[in-house]
Amino acid sequence: MQDKMSRRSLVKKGLLASAALPALGLMARTSLAADLPALDPADPTAKALGFATDAGKAPGAKPNQKCSTCQQFQGKAGDASGGCNIFAGKSVPAGGWCMVWVQKT
């Protein structure tokens, strides 16, 4: 015997699946961000961009400039560290700084 699926049930299932996909993506991104290795200040890209783990010790940083206030920082407010668009695959400390710093909007 053949089971026929109605067009209506197919559309409903498709809508449910498409609503669940972004939630799964967010969960995967969160777990991946927690697993990122810390950026090594000796990394060639970090050196080229003047990266410092402490913005207070970075020669070019102003008082309000730190990774947590940068547009490139992917962590949430209050996170000790987070991903960075500039240093892909690495986490940076919230109190760090580099020359690419741009005010978060």
pLDDT tens per residue, range 3-41? 677 888 777 777 767 776 666 565 555 445 568 999 999
* Percentage of residues of the chain with pLDDT beyond 90: 62
Q: Classify burial at 37, counting beta carbons within 10 Å of its beta carbon; exposed 0-12, middle 13-18, buried 19 or more.
A: exposed
Give the Å distances, CA to CA, from 29 to 8, 16, 65, 73, 85: 33, 21, 26, 14, 14
- The rounded mean pLDDT for the chain is 85
Structural domain count of the chain: 1
pLDDT at 65: 96
Cβ neighbours around 72 below 10 Å, total:
17
Bridge partners (DSSP) of residue 38 are 91
| pLDDT above 60 for 75 | yes
Main-chain dihedrals φ then ψ at residue 70, nearest 5 degrees: -95, 145
pLDDT at 31: 43
The enclosing domain of 79 has a CATH number of 4.10.490.10
Give domain status of residue 2, yes or no: no
Domain enclosing residue 27, as ranges: 7-93
